[in-house]
């Protein structure tokens, strides 16, 4: 008989152990999914509040999207970029229309990693400079360059060191030196950026790359003026700004299509993946015309711009527009934030509740010392699973619980999830 244990036994024989599934001894072996639910092979149903890592953005096997995927699959499946398909052009036009500022030209790939690789390539060719500055606690992907850009020890494997990547202090106010105000944290970050450029570069850089809210870092939300303070320093050093919107894009942060729009600055490049295609493998880099045009010579991605992925992604974004999901993210996100703040006041194992829109987190700590408590965070996520709710984990110390439901989540599902979270917190406190 097929069951989770038997499948996991076979899994361990044929898969790299580094691709470790959640929930330790009792991993979820998925059988099927529909809208907000996912069922395991034993038939147990779960309310999914992590969406395959912020990727199933408008519901599993969404009928409106599936219909368009199938229609495209039956018409034209693959050409590679040596021939053009109209879905690709339509999607690029849509992305250009919905992103802020002068972003206009797209390059399509298959993942966030590749989108970030492309952005760095373009920044380096545009500026003629190799230096890229990124933030500590960033996660940028799993290629050798993307692991270099990432600044979390657990995600840097294989002796990865790109000498042209420099990391600077991130505005992680909860874990800043004791007693510092938010203003002082920003001052410290600004100072670190200035000192890094002055001491570790020749004074010129290619790019500053950052997530508007750090995702895998544990949904770290910067102070409101952080980006406005650092961008002039980046520009003065000749650098362009790459906003990594892989987690924050497509309305997730509430009210705006892109996370960076909350911070009052305009990027020269933006990268997307994950929720953009509701589960279809896509990476997208969009740049201003002059930056895009600087990538001279030959480069291509066999599956980049694949007609089926393009049609699915366009259908996903049109679904978001038709259902005004950015507004739903703002409304349901506000309800979730209010509830999590109540839990933070009630349960001392929550060091901080933070987030924007449908990207909210609780940082689990040892009461009093505020030391990260990864074991309790894992136990909490396991307990929620046992109660039928799927959540994510994250943070450098593995102690941040990430809550990121579908962008079209209903108020009723939000209430159910908050009840489960409340009862799991009570149990573990």
Ligand X SMILES: Cc1ncc(COP(=O)(O)O)c(C=O)c1O
Name the residue with the smallest CB distance to ligand X.
112
Instruction: Give the residue with the Cβ less far from ligand X, 113 or 328.
Output: 113
140 touching ligand X, by CB under 6 A: yes
| String marking each residue 26-65 x if it binds ligand X according to CB under 6 A | ---------------------------x------------
> Which CB atom, from 244 or from 363, has the smaller least distance to ligand X?
244
Binding residue (CB under 6 A) for ligand X from 92, 273, 291, 417: 273
x-or-dash string of contact with ligand X, 90-129, rule CB under 6 A: ---------------------xxx--x-------------
Q: Which stretch binds ligand X (CB under 6 A): 175-183, 241-249, 355-363, 408-416?
A: 241-249
Region from 32-40, 166-174, 211-219, 372-380 binding ligand X, contact rule CB under 6 A: 211-219
Give the 3-state secondary structure of the chain: CCCHHHHHHHHHHHCCCCCCCCCCCCCCCEEEEEECEEEECCCCEEEECCHHHHCCCCCECCHHHHHHHHHHHHHCCCCCCCCCCHHHHHHHHHHHHHCCCCCCEEEEECCHHHHHHHHHHHHHHHHCCCCEEEECCCCCCCCHHHHHHCCCHHHCCCCCCCCCEEEECCCCHHHCCCCCCHHHHHHHHHHHHHHHHHHHCCCCCCEEEECCCECCCCCECCCCCHHHHHHHHHHHCCCEEEEECCCCCCCCCCCCCCHHHHHCCCCCEEEECHHHHCCCCCEEEEECHHHHHCCCCCCCCCCCCCHHHHHHHHHHHHHHHHCCHHHHHHHHHHHHHHHHHHHHHHCCCEEEEEEECCEEEEEEECCCCCCECHHHHHHHHHHHHHCCEECEEECCCCCEEEECCCCCCCHHHHHHHHHHHHHHHHHHC
Which residue stretch of 179-187, 243-251, 310-318, 337-345 sits at the interface with ligand X (rule: CB under 6 A)? 243-251
Closest CB to ligand X among 112 and 254? 112
- The correct pick among 52, 212, 215, 326 for binding ligand X (CB under 6 A) is 215
Minimum CB separation of residue 116 from ligand X in Å reads: 6
- Identified binder of ligand X from the candidate list 139, 219, 226, 263, rule CB under 6 A: 139
Contact between 277 and ligand X (CB under 6 A)? no
Q: Please report whether residue 269 would count as binding ligand X according to CB under 6 A.
A: no
Minimum gap (Å) between residue 168 Cβ and ligand X = 17
Select from 190, 216, 260, 414 the one that contacts ligand X (CB under 6 A).
216
Contacting positions for ligand X (CB under 6 A) = 53, 111-113, 116, 139-141, 211, 215-216, 244, 246-247, 273
């Amino acid at each position: 008989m097929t069951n989770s244990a038997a499948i996991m036994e076979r899994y361990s024989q044929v898969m790299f152990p580094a691709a470790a599934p959640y929930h330790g001894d009792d991993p979820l072996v998925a059988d099927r999914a529909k809208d907000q639910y996912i069922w395991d092979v034993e038939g147990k149903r779960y309310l999914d509040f992590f969406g395959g890592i912020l990727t199933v953005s408008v519901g599993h096997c969404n009928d409106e999207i599936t219909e368009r995927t199938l229609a495209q699959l039956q018409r034209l499946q693959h050409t590679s970029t040596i021939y053009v398909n109209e879905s690709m052009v339509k999607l690029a036009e849509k992305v250009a229309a919905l992103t802020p500022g002068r972003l206009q030209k797209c390059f399509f790939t298959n993942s966030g990693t590749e989108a970030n690789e492309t952005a760095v390539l373009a920044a380096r060719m545009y500026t003629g400079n190799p230096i890229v500055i990124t933030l500590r606690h960033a996660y940028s992907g799993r290629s050798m360059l993307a692991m270099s850009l990432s600044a979390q020890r657990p995600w840097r494997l294989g002796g990865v060191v790109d000498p042209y990547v420099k990391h600077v202090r991130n505005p992680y106010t909860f874990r800043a030196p004791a007693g510092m105000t938010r203003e002082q944290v920003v001052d410290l970050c600004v100072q670190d950026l200035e000192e890094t450029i002055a001491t570790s570069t020749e004074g010129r850089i290619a790019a500053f790359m950052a997530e508007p809210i750090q995702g895998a870092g544990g949904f770290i939300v910067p102070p409101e003026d952080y980006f406005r303070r650092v961008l002039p320093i980046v520009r003065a050093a000749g650098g362009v700004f790459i906003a990594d919107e892989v987690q924050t894009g497509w309305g997730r942060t509430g009210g705006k299509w892109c996370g960076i729009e909350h911070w009052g600055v305009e990027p020269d490049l933006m990268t997307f993946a994950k929720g953009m295609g509701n589960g279809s493998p896509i990476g997208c880099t969009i740049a201003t015309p002059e930056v895009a045009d600087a990538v001279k010579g030959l480069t291509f991605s066999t599956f980049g711009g694949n007609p089926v992925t393009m049609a699915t992604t366009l259908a996903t974004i049109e679904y978001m527009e038709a259902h005004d999901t950015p507004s739903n993210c703002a409304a349901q996100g506000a309800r979730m934030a209010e509830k999590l703040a109540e839990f933070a006041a009630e349960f001392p194992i929550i060091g901080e509740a933070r987030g924007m829109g449908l990207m909210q987190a609780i940082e689990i700590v040892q009461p009093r010392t505020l030391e990260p408590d990864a074991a309790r965070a894992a136990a909490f996520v396991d307990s929620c699973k046992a109660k039928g709710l799927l959540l994510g984990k994250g943070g450098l110390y593995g102690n941040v619980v990430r809550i990121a439901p579908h962008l079209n989540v209903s108020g009723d599902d939000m209430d159910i999830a908050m009840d489960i979270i409340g009862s799991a917190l009570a149990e573990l406190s």
